[in-house]
Amino acid sequence: MFGRNDNEFSTVSEFIDKKSKSLQRKKNIFFSKVDHVLHGQHEHQFSKQDVLNMDKNTRCKVCGILLSEFIVQHKMDNFSPLLKPRSKQAVKTE
């Protein structure tokens, strides 16, 4: 704890846990990329460090969409049922 670097681990189990989490994230990203190629749909994955750093506009690790574009797209999808389309008859009478 004291005098230790972040790269040093006190036990082998801590090292194994950290490496297994890292491998799990890499595996999830790989399979998301495969699903994106085959089916066109995937779960967007952004780097936590990049999201917390407000200076950069991070990209999805799978498809490359910007975080700001994803946020706008997500908001539009949520609000689209609330938006009422204008009818063609109302447009003709104006």
Question: What are the extents of the domains in the chain?
Answer: 1-43, 44-84
Per-residue pLDDT of 28-70, as tens digits, reads: 888 888 888 888 877 888 888 888 887 778 888 888 889 889 8
Of the candidates 73, 50, 75, 72, which has an alpha carbon nearest to the alpha carbon of residue 60?
50
Q: What pLDDT was estimated at residue 20?
A: 93
Q: What pLDDT was estimated at residue 3?
A: 47
Q: Is the pLDDT of residue 94 over 70?
A: no
- Burial classification of residue 60, based on how many CB atoms lie within 10 Å of its CB (0-12 exposed, 13-18 middle, 19 or more buried): buried
Return d(Cα 52, Cα 68) in angstroms, integer: 13
Per-residue pLDDT of 6-36, as tens digits, reads: 566 678 888 889 999 999 989 988 888 888 8
Of the candidates 5, 1, 21, which has an alpha carbon nearest to the alpha carbon of residue 13?
21
Return d(Cα 45, Cα 10) in angstroms, integer: 31
pTM metric for this prediction: 0.55
Residue 63, token pair as written in the block: 């498809």
